[in-house]
């Protein structure tokens, strides 16, 4: 699957979070949890040694570092990454290579496909030809077209001429077999590494997850070439203080994943933890209006650090300090209701339907766990209509399911399991799923298409909205602790970590030993 950027679907009206950023997604809530309790590791793909040179723009002197970009030529985020790489490379005066690889597909007939269509393929072909014949002019060519990348077909000739690139030579190459052969070779590396996100950045053959700003990338390059004059003259990195407000008794509130992600942006980071029940913790909760933990507060110097540009849209300023906007794990101020479990989903989210199926298995295996409700992630408009990430059909299914919960609460799990088999066609199969579970489809139809269904859904979505939940699936354990997974055995492990004496904790459920991270919509 090819993507502009690394992102999950974001529900309308959901709160913006550091986790949901297209550039900076490092760890989702589920990964943090599984790192602590399920030992689920997601390793970066291995490189193939980086020996092939197709796509590498040769510097004027011997380079000891390489920035490798995997992009779509008409992806705005890919173009931003190219601009950033140029600004870094220019500072090093030939000490750093730039390698550009395209993310595209090759058909059996030798033609190509790319996310943004034929115009993007045409530009890919032109660029591999420029790399082949005019490698030292390539970076300046990229800089020239960057302002008009969406209409590059109209401007590329002018940009080529400005950089002493023979337009006719590039036309001949890019429209013939030579260009096809060059592009075919260029895209192999992205395919071999399983890269489908534009941009993906590698530095010296390893994935780069640092800040997407000139200062951060320059410092990362300097770890490879510390003797460069650029590196010798870098000012010391500004130190940043991070205060983590946490609950020492919360089993899932492990901040190490997010701290590690922040350290990839800020190496000179000092971290201290404060228990939310301490006098200092209580004062911070009041000052920053913290509703859940862990909470992450940066000191004033973050505003002077090179990563500030990267982080700023996810920071909430209070006086001179900054609160990082992330989904907490434990919600404060909610009563503890042991061995209860809620599920928040979008009814046509594939991961949500998988979680519903897992939930049914879990509840059958752990009979003492009380299911405290199925809640939908959606928005309500001023006119009483609803919006949901997957459109009107999802809203219609939400309405049917809240009506089933109202009239047939004991049958909702069997119904959702039936729907899950073909959730994207719920509108065509729901009546069969209802009938097979002795649910009166006429009654549900009347409810879901009338004011009753609207009132039920309006009430249902309030809890998720009040908690800022925008990712499907999200579970709430014990009425205050959030986590996410799509596997029954992993749900069991989380529950049994809190109550190991529960009947059924010794059972092995589906998904046991899975090393595949859970997905999510939103």
Q: Looking at residue 299, which CATH number applies to its domain? A: 3.40.30
Is residue 129 within 8 A of residue 182, CB to CB? The reply is yes
Predicted local distance difference test score (pLDDT) of residue 211: 82
Predicted local distance difference test score (pLDDT) of residue 499: 97
Task: Say if 367 falls within a structural domain.
Answer: yes
- How far CA 241 is from CA of 32, 258, 262, 294, 321, in Å, comes to 22, 14, 11, 16, 10
Bridge partners (DSSP) of residue 274 are 245
Is residue 387 within 8 A of residue 12, CB to CB? The reply is yes
Is residue 284 within 8 A of residue 245, CB to CB? The reply is yes
Q: In the chain, how many domains are there?
A: 3
Q: CA-to-CA distance for 181 and 185, rounded, in angstroms?
A: 6
Q: Are residue 96 and residue 226 in the same domain, yes or no?
A: yes
Predicted local distance difference test score (pLDDT) of residue 515: 60
Is residue 378 within 8 A of residue 395, CB to CB? The reply is yes
Predicted local distance difference test score (pLDDT) of residue 494: 97
Predicted local distance difference test score (pLDDT) of residue 245: 99
Nearest to 274 by CA among 260, 253, 258: 253
Q: Are residue 246 and residue 228 in the same domain, yes or no?
A: no
Task: Say if 515 falls within a structural domain.
Answer: no
Predicted local distance difference test score (pLDDT) of residue 54: 55
Q: CA-to-CA distance for 471 and 486, rounded, in angstroms?
A: 12
Is residue 420 within 8 A of residue 356, CB to CB? The reply is yes
Predicted local distance difference test score (pLDDT) of residue 15: 34
pLDDT digits (tens, 9 = 90+) for 79-119: 999 999 999 999 998 899 999 999 999 999 999 999 899 99
Q: Residue 361 is part of a domain; what is its CATH number?
A: 3.40.30.10
pTM of the model: 0.70
Half-sphere CA count of 182, side-chain side, radius 13 A: 25
Could you say which residues of the chain have pLDDT below 50? 1, 4-53, 59-61
The domain containing residue 403 runs over which residues?
340-498
- State the sign of the Cα–Cα–Cα–Cα dihedral 63, 66, 72, 75: negative
Task: Say if 509 falls within a structural domain.
Answer: no
Kindly tell me the burial class for residue 252, based on how many C-beta atoms sit within 10 Å of its own C-beta (0-12, 13-18, 19 or more): buried
- The residue from 331, 350, 380 where one domain ends is 331
Q: What is the DSSP letter of 387?
A: E
Nearest to 393 by CA among 358, 430, 364: 430
Predicted local distance difference test score (pLDDT) of residue 265: 87
């Amino acid at each position: 699957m090819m993507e502009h950027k690394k992102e999950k679907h974001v529900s309308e009206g959901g709160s913006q979070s550091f986790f949901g950023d297209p550039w900076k997604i490092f760890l989702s809530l589920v990964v943090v949890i599984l790192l602590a309790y399920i030992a689920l590791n997601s390793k970066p793909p291995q490189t193939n040694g980086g020996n092939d040179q197709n796509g590498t723009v040769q510097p004027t002197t011997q380079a000891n570092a390489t920035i490798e970009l995997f992009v779509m030529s008409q992806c705005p985020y890919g173009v931003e990454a190219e601009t950033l790489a140029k600004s870094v490379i220019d500072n090093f005066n030939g000490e750093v290579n730039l390698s550009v690889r395209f993310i595209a597909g090759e058909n059996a007939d030798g033609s190509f496909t790319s996310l943004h269509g034929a115009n993007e393929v045409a530009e890919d072909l032109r660029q591999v030809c420029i790399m082949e014949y005019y490698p030292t002019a390539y970076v300046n060519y990229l800089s020239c077209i960057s302002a008009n990348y969406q209409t590059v077909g109209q401007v590329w000739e002018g940009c080529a001429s400005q950089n002493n690139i023979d337009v006719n030579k590039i036309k001949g190459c890019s429209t013939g077999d030579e260009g096809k052969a060059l592009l075919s070779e260029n895209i192999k590396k992205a395919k071999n590494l399983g890269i489908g996100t534009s941009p993906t950045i590698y530095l010296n053959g390893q994935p780069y997850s640092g800040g997407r700003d000139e200062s951060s990338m320059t410092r990362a390059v300097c770890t490879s070439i510390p003797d460069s004059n650029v590196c010798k003259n870098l000012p010391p990195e500004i130190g940043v203080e991070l205060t983590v407000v946490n609950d020492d008794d919360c089993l899932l509130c492990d901040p190490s994943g997010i701290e590690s992600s922040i350290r990839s942006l800020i190496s000179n980071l000092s971290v201290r933890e404060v228990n939310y029940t301490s006098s200092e913790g209580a004062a911070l909760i009041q000052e920053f209006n913290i509703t859940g933990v862990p909470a992450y507060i940066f000191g004033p110097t973050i505003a002077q650090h090179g990563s500030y540009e990267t982080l700023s849209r996810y920071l909430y300023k209070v006086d001179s300090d900054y609160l990082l906007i992330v989904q907490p794990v434990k919600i404060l101020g909610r009563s503890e209701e042991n061995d209860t479990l809620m599920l928040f989903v979008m009814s046509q989210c594939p991961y949500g339907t998988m979680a519903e199926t897992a939930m049914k298995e879990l509840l059958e295996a752990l009979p003492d766990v009380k299911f405290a409700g199925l809640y939908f992630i959606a928005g309500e408009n001023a006119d009483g209509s609803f919006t949901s990430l997957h459109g009107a059909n999802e809203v219609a299914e939400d309405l049917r399911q809240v009506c089933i919960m109202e009239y047939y609460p004991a049958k909702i799990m069997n119904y959702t399991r039936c729907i899950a088999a073909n959730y994207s066609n719920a509108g065509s199969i729901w009546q069969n799923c209802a009938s097979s579970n002795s649910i009166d489809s006429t009654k549900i139809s009347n409810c879901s298409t009338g004011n009753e269904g609207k009132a039920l859904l309006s009430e249902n979505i309030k809890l998720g909205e009040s908690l800022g939940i925008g990712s499907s699936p999200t579970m709430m354990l014990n009425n205050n602790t959030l986590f996410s997974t799509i596997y029954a055995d992993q749900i069991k492990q989380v529950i049994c970590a809190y109550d190991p004496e529960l009947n059924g904790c010794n059972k092995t459920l589906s998904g046991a030993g899975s090393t595949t991270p859970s997905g999510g919509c939103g």
